[in-house]
Structure 1
Amino acid sequence: MWAITSRRLHIVQGNALGLALLLGVLIAPYFVNLSGPSLWDSTEAFYAETPREMLELKSFVIPYFNYEPRLNKPPLAYWLVLPFYRTFGVSQVAERIVAALGAGALILLTFGLGAAMFNQWVGLLGAAIVATTPRLILLAQKSIIDITFTALIAAALALFWLAMRERESSSPRMTRRAPTRTPGRWAVIAFYATIGLGVLTKGPLAIVLVGGTIFFHLLIMRRWDLLRLMNIPVGLLVLAGVVLPWYVALYARLGWEPITSFIMRENIARFTSDIDWSRRGPFYYLSVLAGDFFPWSLYLIPAIVFGYRRWRQNDERSPTAFLFAWIAFILLFFSLAHNKHEYYILPLYPAAAILIARLFVHPSHELLAPGERRLMRVITIVVAVLFIAGGIVLGLIIARFFSGGWMVLLPLVVSLGGLWLLGQARLSRPMRLPLSLVGVMVVSALFYRLAFLPLIEPYRPIKPLCEAIAHDIRSEDLVGTYNVAAPSMVFYLRRRIFQISRPEEMRALLASHRRIFCVIPESEFHHVERLFPGQLIVWERRPMLTLRLNLLLERRANGRLPHVLLVSNRPREPGTNPVKASH
């Protein structure tokens, strides 16, 4: 049997201490090595620096970044960081605690919803699947806003499910007498309040994702009568009470323009037009789901087949339909959007995790059909082979580009995990299959935080360059970047930076006769140096990380990793020599 059967359920059910320990093991890796890596410039720097400036400027309504209003997102993600800055001081650890807590909350929410829908084993395995999702592991130290938003969407949908289940069980349609009180009232209020917090995190998208999922569920179940049980008028009042105070305060200070700009550009325009990226095809998220949710994504097909069969048999129709609706709406909605980012579909992973966990966990009388068992075995063999091959490739990459550290053991762990899975597929030992996958992924997550991140830190140049600048900088000096995205410089230097990309902008800076410090790609520097001969001096030269394998191989083959330079229009103090850029 390819399942964890009811004979095993007693291990977890009724054992609160055991549950707490297992959930703690899943959450603990997210709090490991928070102080080691420098800030990630793609997103994290904004959510570390903006709360710091809000504290410095005492501006808790209008977020600021680089000492200018930053209104492309609502403020909840910034507000969550503020108490940690006040308590522990401004640091990247204080900022990252918030993201780690958000990941922990998401894991606990997945457990709670899975347990409420099915049983504690489903909840626990679903939580383990979410905790070992590669995209969540990566984002938990990079993007507070996406982790927070995903947790709020999951919380809102879980509250809706709980309220709906309670109301259905006490509805006159389900019982012979009318209930003496309004069932699920506080769950409904909490549901709308949670949506409001989602709106304060990423805007009206929270209403769309939650509302669309519920609409799909009611459509599948043909239960439009449940709309009357949702107390929509009261819910709208709760939603307005959570959302409107900030928008009213913002309007009082800046008027309508930032509000309309946020709604039009950051919401409608992102859905209907290309803003950040060239348009990706309608099937883009299928490849994202396969990679970002690996290895669990491969089990989605048998999970859907098994869930549909159980649904056709009139078993567990409501929870299965709810999970189907959750996954389908989010995947369809973002597939129709013009702008596509891989992390947009993060909110569907809790539902997918519970659905897959249900595939592995069911009572002994609910056997998989022969075709489903064969499909599971084939998928497990594929996963095992991919683990073995991935371990070999990872070992070759580490041996060629990096050296030393515990990271050299990760390829061995991954390959051995693949061999173990291959043995489980051959012996058809279902109990060990999901546990083996969870074990390999947890160990890989720890290696990522304890070995991989320290290994690549020398190739992340912004923090050491800022330390070099801070050693010599004066208040009247100008600091910034030329064709480099480095928002973390604002956090490390605690001052405004310029961001330029054209030679005429560099000419204007040089004409100011003030000392400038500029971070510039080495490839760009050669062009700028020809335009302004003798006016720029190289102070520092640092290798720059690229995670695109084709570029890494190309640079390594040429014997040249990409570098960035710290240049200035003034020499160092006497007794030190500037670093020469290699040609």
Structure 2
Amino acid sequence: MLINVSKWKYLPLLVFALAWALYLANSGGVNIYILDEAKNAECAREMFERSDLIVPTFNQVLRTDKPPLHYFFMMLSYSVYGVNPFAARFFSALFGALTVLTTFLFARKYAGSKTALLTAMVLLASVHLSIQFHLAVPDPYLVFFMTAAIFSFYLFLKEEKALYGWTLYAALGFGTLAKGPVAIALPGLIFLLYLIFSKQFKWAIIGKLHPFAGALLVLAIALPWFLWVHIKTNGAWTEGFFLKHNLGRFTEEMEGHGGTFMATILFVLVGLFPFSVYMPQAIVKAFKKRHNEFVLFNLIVGLTIIGFFMLSKTRLPNYTVPALPYLAVLTALFLNEKLLEQKALRTGLWVAAGISLILVPALLIALQTDPALYEVKNVGWYFLLFPILMLAAVVFLYQQKTETALSLMLAGGISVALVFFGMAFPKIDSQNPVAKSIHLLEGKEVRYFQKFNASYSFNLKREIKEIEAEEMAAFFDEYPDGVIISTKKKISAIDLPETAEVSFSAQDTFESPVTVLITRKK
């Protein structure tokens, strides 16, 4: 089956179409609620409303978290589809699909059609990638441009075509506009290590890469916006982005996202599940075959990215996503070699099946013990198809139908993603406090006290001004139907005016704050 399909001339188009459909699945059917999504989508909306390509703001306050590339694409999407969740996520799905396609084509060029197909299967089965490429965040853009740059580097070394060299530097430039200096520093470290370990660190080879001309292209793409925003914000954006959100995130734990360095390895294993059960064997096998330049290249890239973020004090699951295409290639190389050795694949598949059997009861318990999600406690049952498919994969493997078993693993991963975005998450999303209360704020004067859920800004599509405690009584006198958003913790520290009351309270989904709405007493 794999042998026949892998040689189909329209397979790249099929891989791209399947990936894009998967990453777009119900992307407009779930609210913009998660903190990062809400701030990114609203920032792009405000820039779109002002026709401003330079100064990013959230709730009309300067936002220094990220460079603008994802804002630009969201603004373009807003102009076509309107300001809504689908538009905010549209290009994330597209760049996710392009990443899968690019990895497929790269693997096919240097490892053959069957390994390329297996690589695509490993990536498409990843629920983590499906989630990542469903989000209105800059990471899908960074992952694509970093992948394009790194692949172009290898292509140039092998073929010395000018096109690959310029693609390398153009991708680094756009990657810098996506997420900043990490798009240069990390690939640069990878290039250096590969040249050293492949014994190609020679001035003649470095000269062929035209690093000075390349640097000029990177600067031509990225520098104008960085200079312009520096000037327009009197250096405030530059200071906030480079010192806090780059140096600060690497040297200090931020926003509670820390943990041991082992968390980074866990993120990678979860990131490519279910096929990650073969990743340890694949890496060991790759190390033994490091004399092969293609294997060595993917090994160095994957491990360098993992090692880089193991050193970071701030650790998040999305940080290691750029490593997944290369780890998928190594996993595919291992699987391709072991297709006729069923025994070598049994342990990994049993591990994956065992985890799948735990998934449903774990979800049922987690949902029942979370007060904010108790009303959707039965959502865990939606994922019952996953363990069924994984157990079927075990049966087929023992019948020496390895390709069918791997196909069922792919189907299992895709089923989880489709069930999650099409059925489970919409129900979970309906329980978030913004979805429950947004109708109470529409058409009314709204303020916030000290802290508020960022999703309110995007859903209301307007600025929410801050209010002080001593101003609340006057606010309700002027706007009897007005609403003040805050959190239970912030409100408990003050005395509300006698004319005001908490009229709505709900636990934030997946977060610790309790959102409250304060209105005039009836």
User: What is the TM-score with the length of structure 1 in the denominator?
Assistant: 0.81
Alpha-carbon deviation of 1:524? 5.9
Q: What residue is the counterpart of 2:470 in the other structure?
A: 507
Q: Determine if contact 2:122/2:328 at 8 Å carries over to the other structure.
A: yes
Alpha-carbon deviation of 1:540? 3.4
> Equivalences for 1:79-94 in 2 at 5 Å?
79-94=72-87
Is the counterpart of residue 156 in structure 1 residue 149 in structure 2? yes
Deviations 1:519-577 (A, max 9, x none): 3445765x357x23634223334464337xxx9xxxxxxxxxx9643212x246xxxxx
Change (3 A) 1:507 1:291: farther
> Equivalences for 1:560-579 in 2 at 5 Å?
564-568=515-519, 570-571=520-521
State the alpha-carbon separation in 2 of the partners of residues 203 and 139 from structure 1: 19
Alpha-carbon deviation of 1:274? 2.9
Instruction: Return 5+ residue gaps in structure 1 as ranges.
Output: 168-183, 552-561, 573-583
Is the counterpart of residue 470 in structure 1 residue 439 in structure 2? no
Is the counterpart of residue 64 in structure 1 residue 64 in structure 2? no
Alpha-carbon deviation of 1:498? 4.2
Deviations 1:480-502 (A, max 9, x none): 25544x112112223222468xx
Letter in 2 for 1:489: Y
Alpha-carbon deviation of 1:386? 1.7
Q: Determine if contact 1:40/1:142 at 8 Å carries over to the other structure.
A: no
Instruction: Return 5+ residue gaps in structure 2 as ranges.
Output: none
Is the counterpart of residue 491 in structure 1 residue 468 in structure 2? no
Is the counterpart of residue 48 in structure 1 residue 41 in structure 2? yes
Alpha-carbon deviation of 1:199? 0.6
Equivalent in 19, 22, 27 of residue 26 of structure 1: 19
Q: Determine if contact 1:40/1:488 at 8 Å carries over to the other structure.
A: yes
Deviations 1:501-525 (A, max 9, x none): xxxx423444665545223445765
Is the counterpart of residue 335 in structure 1 residue 310 in structure 2? yes
Alpha-carbon deviation of 1:398? 6.6
Q: What residue is the counterpart of 1:254 in the other structure?
A: 233
Alpha-carbon deviation of 1:40? 2.1
State the alpha-carbon separation in 2 of the partners of residues 28 and 257 from structure 1: 40
Q: Determine if contact 2:352/2:390 at 8 Å carries over to the other structure.
A: yes
Change (3 A) 1:156 1:251: same
Q: What residue is the counterpart of 1:424 in the other structure?
A: 396
Deviations 1:33-61 (A, max 9, x none): 12211112321112211122112222211
Letter in 2 for 1:222: K
Report the more deviating stretch, 437-446 or 139-148: 139-148
Q: What residue is the counterpart of 1:556 in the other structure?
A: none
Q: What residue is the counterpart of 2:328 in the other structure?
A: 353
The RMSD of aligned alpha carbons is 2.8
Equivalent in 407, 416, 429 of residue 457 of structure 1: 429
Alpha-carbon deviation of 1:118? 0.7
State the alpha-carbon separation in 2 of the partners of residues 483 and 250 from structure 1: 27
Change (3 A) 1:494 1:303: same
Q: Determine if contact 1:45/1:487 at 8 Å carries over to the other structure.
A: yes
Aligned residues: 514
Q: Determine if contact 1:107/1:128 at 8 Å carries over to the other structure.
A: no
Q: What residue is the counterpart of 2:385 in the other structure?
A: 413
Q: What residue is the counterpart of 2:504 in the other structure?
A: 540
Q: Determine if contact 2:259/2:315 at 8 Å carries over to the other structure.
A: yes
Q: What residue is the counterpart of 2:168 in the other structure?
A: 191
Report the more deviating stretch, 21-30 or 32-41: 21-30
Letter in 2 for 1:507: E
Q: What residue is the counterpart of 2:485 in the other structure?
A: 519
> Equivalences for 1:73-84 in 2 at 5 Å?
73-84=66-77
Q: Determine if contact 2:367/2:377 at 8 Å carries over to the other structure.
A: no
Q: What residue is the counterpart of 2:98 in the other structure?
A: 105
Alpha-carbon deviation of 1:406? 10
State the alpha-carbon separation in 2 of the partners of residues 81 and 524 from structure 1: 33
Equivalent in 189, 198, 201 of residue 224 of structure 1: 201
Letter in 2 for 1:436: L
Change (3 A) 1:483 1:428: farther
Alpha-carbon deviation of 1:321? 0.8
Equivalent in 71, 93, 116 of residue 123 of structure 1: 116
- Looking at CA atoms only, which structure, 1 or 2, has the larger radius of gyration? 1
Letter in 2 for 1:159: S
Q: What residue is the counterpart of 1:479 in the other structure?
A: 447
Equivalent in 382, 402, 423 of residue 351 of structure 2: 382
Q: What residue is the counterpart of 1:447 in the other structure?
A: 419
